[in-house]
Amino acid sequence: MGIEAHPRLIRIACLVLGLGLIAAGCRDTRAARTPDKPPANALRQWGSWRGPLATGEAPHATPPIQWSEQENIRWKTPLPGVGQSTPIVWEEQIFVTAAIPIGAGLPPRPSQASGAHDNLPVTHRQRFVVIALDRRDGRIRWQRTVAEGVPEEQGHVSGTLASASPSTDGDRVYAFFGSFGLYALDMEGAIVWQKDLGRMAVKHGHGEGASATLHGDALAVNWDHEGQSFVIVLDAATGSERWRRQRDEVTSWATPVVVKHAGREQLIVPGSHRARSYDLRTGEIIWECGGLSKNIVASPVAADGMVFLGSSYEIRSMLAIRLDSAVGDLTGTDRVAWTRSKGTPYVPSPLLLHGRLHFLRHYQNILTQVDAKSGEETSRPLRIPGLRNIYASPVAADGRIYVTDRDGVTVVLKEGTPPQVIATNRLDEGFSASAALIDELLLLRGERHLYAIGPSSPPRGH
């Protein structure tokens, strides 16, 4: 019997053909993804350490306000080794990095760096791993070793050998271990490519920490250290080098940010001598500006045609740059919208939220809020009760700001002028990694565990 004699078969054949065309179209769209056309659900993910907007805000998340070790803990998973990298999330997978001491102990080797202080001695060979967990129940899906070796420097007592946060675009996971390499893995943990960028000589031997910046099909690394510094941009799919520019800079730990302005993508990299903007596609310097301190740790944030950079070491300094007509040396020009010389951030990066910039003084519990365009304080600085030393950068969602300290305390503030404390929560371990926010969850990576803070049962559909 011919198919033409059976309309039902014709309909089935058409349906199958149509589904095939739709699937092919989806594959084509996925392959042709460009920086100008991110995945439709990208704003609901937390694919890098400062979230989908690179500002610290999760625009679609609704995390809880209150929790404890007995309340609103979805799950709590022990993690191997140590690390202060922020967990990142794409759909149902969470990714973290860690350094695991292995083998017999080595004779302690103290830091050889000039001016070293408060550093841990090298005592073990290390295994550098990327770990994927299931967002629903916290089980470890896979753990991939990407490198092993004996570090030349262990780092500061408050740091780790896995402090750079990974990133993902839903196709690959990018993990950066500084002197131990840059790696791209597929979502099942297979290594797609890897690149050795050399060995860092970090100021005072305090360790490495800047994360690689993923933007569309480009992956950028800030390699500022005590040797020949440079910035490099790689093809995210293949790891091939697109461009590299030497920098007259010393050690910094700041992660670059990418801003698209007037149709041009700018890679903005802070520096002790000059903050610089590079054309993401060509490496050409678009503008530069002096005025920051040494030892830059806080990463820039940007929105609405402006970028904000802060530092606090031997001097306190914050700069707000207008990107319109920003070309050449901007130092002392009207392209610097405003500056600030008190209360500026050192370790935690600023939070940019609804036209207001929030930042902590040095790494203390003094929160300042300013109007992003003018730099004027919108209210008196707030001393946040219950917090002490803070390394994690503040994050925000659902009209609330979350600030976590190294003693395990998270204070939740209601967004406003001024912000108002609405909850204080304590867990049983310390936190230096910044939080990640996705849907109804707040993810906190502690000294020993990864916490998923949220309702005990996931909403239907998870």
Q: What is the pLDDT of residues 286-310, one digit of tens each?
A: 999 999 999 999 999 999 999 999 9
SS3 assignment, position 363: coil
Q: How far apart are CA 332 and CA 323, in angstroms?
A: 15
The H-assigned helical ranges of 221-287 are: none
Q: Could you tell me if residue 45 is inside a domain?
A: yes
Q: Could you tell me if residue 27 is inside a domain?
A: no
Give the total residue count for the chain.
462
At 462, the pLDDT band (50, 70, 90 cuts) reads low
Look at residue 20 and tell me whether its pLDDT is greater than 90: no
Give me the chain's average pLDDT, please. Answer: 91
Over residues 405-422, the mean pLDDT reads: 97
Backbone torsions φ then ψ of 184, nearest 5 degrees: -115, 130
Query: What pLDDT is recorded for position 32?
Result: 37
Query: What pLDDT is recorded for position 13?
Result: 39
Q: Could you tell me if residue 32 is inside a domain?
A: no
Q: Could you tell me if residue 176 is inside a domain?
A: yes
What is the number of other CB atoms lying within 10 angstroms of the CB of residue 136?
A: 12
Q: How far apart are CA 339 and CA 194, in angstroms?
A: 40
CATH number at residue 164: 2.130.10.10
Over residues 8-21, the mean pLDDT reads: 39
Q: What is the pLDDT of residues 248-289, one digit of tens each?
A: 999 999 999 999 999 999 999 999 999 999 999 999 999 999
For the CA atoms of 29, 31, 37, 43, the dihedral, rounded to the nearest 10 degrees, stands at 90
Q: What is the pLDDT of residues 375-412, one digit of tens each?
A: 999 999 999 999 999 999 999 999 999 999 999 999 99
Q: Could you tell me if residue 21 is inside a domain?
A: no
Q: Could you tell me if residue 35 is inside a domain?
A: no
Query: What pLDDT is recorded for position 42?
Result: 87
Look at residue 450 and tell me whether its pLDDT is greater than 60: yes
Q: Which candidate, 173, 188, 206, 207, places its Cα nearest to that of 96?
A: 173
Look at residue 39 and tell me whether its pLDDT is greater than 70: no
| CB 316, CB 341: distance < 8 Å | yes
Q: What percent of the chain has pLDDT over 70?
A: 90
Residue carrying the six token digits 């740059």? 321
Q: How far apart are CA 280 and CA 219, in angstroms?
A: 10
Please state the three-class secondary structure of 290-332 as a single string.
CCCCCCCCCCCEEECCEEEEEEECCCEEEEEEECCCCCEECCC
113 DSSP assignment = S
User: What strands, in cross-sheet order, belong to the sheet with 328-329?
Assistant: 257-261, 264-269, 275-279, 285-289, 328-329
Domain that holds residue 373: 41-453
Q: What is the pLDDT of residues 311-332, one digit of tens each?
A: 999 899 999 999 999 999 999 9
Q: Kindly report the pTM of this predicted structure.
A: 0.90
Query: What pLDDT is recorded for position 377?
Result: 98
Number of domains in the chain: 1
Q: Which candidate, 209, 197, 207, 208, places its Cα nearest to that of 244?
A: 197
Look at residue 358 and tell me whether its pLDDT is greater than 50: yes
Query: What pLDDT is recorded for position 112?
Result: 84
Q: What is the pLDDT of residues 209-245, one digit of tens each?
A: 999 999 999 999 999 999 999 999 999 999 999 999 9
For the CA atoms of 396, 397, 401, 406, the dihedral, rounded to the nearest 10 degrees, stands at -60
Query: What pLDDT is recorded for position 336?
Result: 98
410: Cβ–Cβ under 8 A, 6 or more apart, which residues? 402, 403, 404, 424, 425, 426, 427, 431, 435, 444
Q: What is the distance, to the nearest Å, from the Cα of residue 83 to the centroid of all Cα atoms in its chain?
A: 14
Q: Could you tell me if residue 80 is inside a domain?
A: yes
| Complete DSSP assignment for 121-148 | PB-SEEEEEEEEEETTT--EEEEEEEEE
247: Cβ–Cβ under 8 A, 6 or more apart, which residues? 224, 229, 230, 231, 269, 271, 276
At 3, the pLDDT band (50, 70, 90 cuts) reads very low
What is the number of other CB atoms lying within 10 angstroms of the CB of residue 18?
A: 10
Structure tokens at 304: 């609405």
SS3 assignment, position 251: coil
| CB 200, CB 180: distance < 8 Å | no
Q: Which candidate, 231, 172, 166, 179, places its Cα nearest to that of 205?
A: 179
Query: What pLDDT is recorded for position 461?
Result: 58
Q: Could you tell me if residue 20 is inside a domain?
A: no
